[in-house]
Amino acid sequence: MSGSIYGKNFRISTWGESHGKGYGVVIDGCPAGLAIDEGQIQAYLKRRKPGQTKYSTPRKEDDKVSILSGVFEGKTTGTPISLVVFNENQRSSDYSDIASYYRPGHADYTYDSKYGFRDYRGGGRSSGRETISRVAAGAIAASILNELGISVYAYTKSIGPVTIDYQNCRKEYSLNSTLSMPDPDATKRAEEYILEKQNENDSVGGVIECIATGMPPGIGQPVFDKLDAALAKAVMSIGAVKGVEIGDGFLVATRTGSENNDPFAYDKNNQLTKLTNHAGGILGGITDGSEIILRAAIKPTASIGRPQRTANKYNENIEIQIVGRHDPIIVPRAVVVVESMVAITLVDYLFQGMTSRMDRIKNFYKK
């Protein structure tokens, strides 16, 4: 089997390694007639770029994207869109030690178990740089959603002990914040916390919240392909994610039915709404027209400067110390990755949703 292809009606196929020639994605199933250019995709990629803050890894990559196919005279043709970002910085440092041992928290051992050996340079295929392909595709998915009046917005909800409430935050700030945390005070406290742990040669985790606005009701599938199930997979597939919640998530375990049920009501425009949104916009796997809300728990960066115990492939227990400067936190750069995976999934489901009713299919083919 495979592992690097995602989606049903909007499908992406990704490739690339940290120290190979580059990263890419082929998008098969993008409709014809969508205006896209490299600038749009570049803007998305910029949000996951390393080297933007004092904390983040100083690898200076421009991550410049090229469109290799599927676009003609500024519009998608409906055939596969191939996007590529060539690695600029592929000179391997000396990786001979990494080649022989298994870094804690990394996929070194599991890749060796599965494949018999691995491309050890910078994590190979398991490097966080793999998300370049996701974000490039996410930019195109976001353009499609934009045409349909749908937007996806994610932000840093918490870093270590510092948590913010979405109700009090401003989206504009988030896009310009180094931590993607739309609350200046919280950002300051989070920065202090990161710095403290970084000084201890340690790293920190956090939570990302993602909100999709404008989804029509009735999108999703029953049983196995519930939209929330698909979103859970999409987001859990991002390297450092260890948990996914929809709506109130784990809180529901301590709630009662009367607290958790969202009453339906017509508003003054005779539009059906819900008075609360504990469900996070999805009931029975299908959108109810409210905002879709999900959260992802991001683990602290596995690469830390402290000495760590581990094992090597020569059957020895050893102590290692990972050199080089590493991001003490993944969260802010993962925000646009979560947005991308959600956007890609929503597009796929909107496309799937066009065939649920015979009357609408008849109407479609009448024209």
As measured in angstroms, the least distance from the Cβ of 153 to its own copies is 20
Residue with Cβ nearer its own copies (176 or 217): 217
The H or E element containing residue 2 is none
Task: Please tell me the distance from the alpha carbon of residue 25 to that of residue 18, in angstroms, as a whole number.
Answer: 15
- Compare residues 176 and 195 and give the one whose CB is closer to its own copies: 195
Token pair belonging to 229: 């199930």
Vertex 40 angle, CA 59 and 209, to 5°: 70
Q: Shortest distance, CB of residue 248 to its own copies, whole angstroms? A: 7
User: What is the C-alpha separation between 239 and 106, in angstroms, rounded?
Assistant: 10
Interface map 333-352 toward its own copies (x if CB under 8 A): -----------------xxx
Q: Which of 47, 55, 57, 111 binds its own copies (CB under 8 A)?
A: 111
Nearest to 64 by CA among 92, 84, 36: 84
Q: How many residues does the chain have?
A: 367
Part in contact with its own copies (CB under 8 A); list of ranges 52-60, 90-98, 176-184, 286-294: 286-294
Least distance in angstroms from the C-beta of 23 to its own copies: 8
Distance CA 27, CA 41 (A): 13
Residue closer to its own copies, measured from CB, 182 or 300: 300
Partnered with residue 135 across adjacent β-strands are: none
- Residues numbered 117-156 forming contacts with its own copies, rule: CB under 8 A: 117-119, 124-126, 130, 144, 147-148
Which residue carries 């990494």 as its tokens? 98
Q: How many residues bind its own copies (CB under 8 A)?
A: 164
> Which uninterrupted H or E stretch holds 135?
helix 131-147
What are φ and ψ of residue 116, in 5° steps?
90, -25
Q: CB of 172: closest distance to its own copies in angstroms?
A: 25
Q: Are 70 and 77 in contact (CB under 8 A)?
A: yes
Site for its own copies contains 311 (CB under 8 A): yes
CB nearer its own copies, residue 48 or residue 118: 118
Rounded CA separation 4/247 (Å): 28
Phi first, then psi, for residue 290 (nearest 5°) are -80, 175
CB-based contact 356:350 (threshold 8 Å) = no
CB of 35 to its own copies, least distance (A): 9
Residue type at position 301: T
Residues in 264-283 at the binding interface with its own copies, rule: CB under 8 A: 264-266, 270, 272, 275, 279-280, 282-283
Shortest distance, position 75 Cβ to its own copies, whole Å? 8
d(CA 248, CA 134): 27
Rounded distance, CA 144 to CA 134, Å? 15
Q: How far is the CB of 218 from its own copies (least distance, A)?
A: 3
**183-242 residues near its own copies, rule: CB under 8 A:** 197, 200, 202-207, 216-226, 228-230, 232-234, 236-237, 239, 242
- Name the 3-class secondary structure at 176: helix
Does 99 help bind its own copies (rule: CB under 8 A)? no
Contact characters 59-98, its own copies, x per CB under 8 A: -------xxxxx-x--xxxxxxxx-x--------------
Q: DSSP secondary-structure letter at 312?
A: B
**Beta carbon nearer to its own copies, 244 or 335:** 244
105 belongs to the binding site for its own copies (CB under 8 A): yes
Which one, 126 or 176, has the nearer CB to its own copies? 126
Write the burial class of residue 345 (CB in 10 Å: 0-12 exposed, 13-18 middle, 19+ buried): buried
Smallest gap from residue 173 Cβ to its own copies (A):
21
Name the residue nearer to its own copies (CB basis): 1 or 172: 1
What's the closest the beta carbon of residue 53 comes to its own copies, in angstroms?
A: 18
